[in-house]
Every structure is written in C-alpha cells, then in structure tokens.
Amino acid sequence: MKIQFKEDVVSKKGLEKGQVYNVLSISINQNQKKFLFRIIDSEGTPALYENHLFDIIDNKLDSDWIISYNEEFNVINIMPASISYKGFWEDYFNDDVDAVKIFNNRFGCYVP
C-alpha cells in the first residue's frame, strides 16, 4: 500500500510534501476514533501518522497482511503477519535483535 503526503496540509516533522510512502501497518483506534498509518518517514523512522494527512495512491495490501484486534486498547491492526505479535514495535525500538531482523527482512527494501 502506498500513500502520499498531501500538498495542502501544514508541514509535519518527518514528512515531505508530495512524497510517496510505503505503508508498514494500519491501526484503527476505536476509543480515540483515529485511523493511523505507520510508515518509514523521511528521517528513516517507522512512525505513526494520522490518515487525513495522506492520499491513498495504491490501496493494495500484500498477501501476508492480516487483521488483528487488541482488546486492551480497543485497536484494530492491519499488518504483515510477521510483525503482528504483541510488543513487536516496542521490541524493535528497543533494538531487540529478533525484531530488528524481522523488520529488515520484511521492510528492508523500504528503508531510504
């Protein structure tokens, strides 16, 4: 899935106007009524951004994507199965060797 940062919105740190980004995951927070895309931003960080900042350029999801539900936070996640385990992003940002390896295997081609 690919999204493009809109030209007509206020600048956001880590995003470049008109830039196309590959989506790593989608989170729908039902409590906060938020729809978030996780992308590798222009600074190279896998970060969450609200959907209203983007236009969808390509809505196709890869065949390894699944839907999961986090009851604790009332969040629906749509993402590749390999990163769908609870705590993946925490492990990744804490430099857990296995999580970083999974990330690089799945998303290495997206890293600028």
Distance between CA atoms of residues 93 and 29, nearest Å: 21
pLDDT band, very low/low/confident/very high, at 112 (cuts 50, 70, 90): low
Chain centroid, CA 22 distance in Å: 8
For residue 110, pLDDT beyond 90: no
Read out DSSP for 50-79?
EGGGEEEEE-PPPTTEEEEEETTTTEEEEE
* pLDDT computed for residue 81 by the predictor: 97
For residues 92 and 70, which has the higher predicted lDDT (pLDDT)? Answer: 92
Q: Burial of 79 by CB count in 10 Å (0-12 exposed, 13-18 middle, 19+ buried)? A: buried
Q: Burial of 100 by CB count in 10 Å (0-12 exposed, 13-18 middle, 19+ buried)? A: middle
Condensed to tens digits (0 to 9), the pLDDT of residues 64-91 reads 999 999 888 899 999 999 999 989 999 9
CB 62 within 8 A of CB 80: yes
> Which tokens is 27 given?
């989170």
* pLDDT computed for residue 30 by the predictor: 82
Q: Bridge-partner residues for 55, per DSSP?
A: 4
- Ordered by start, the domain boundaries in the chain are 2-85
Condensed to tens digits (0 to 9), the pLDDT of residues 43-66 reads 899 999 999 999 999 999 999 999
For residues 108 and 75, which has the higher predicted lDDT (pLDDT)? Answer: 75
* pLDDT computed for residue 109 by the predictor: 75
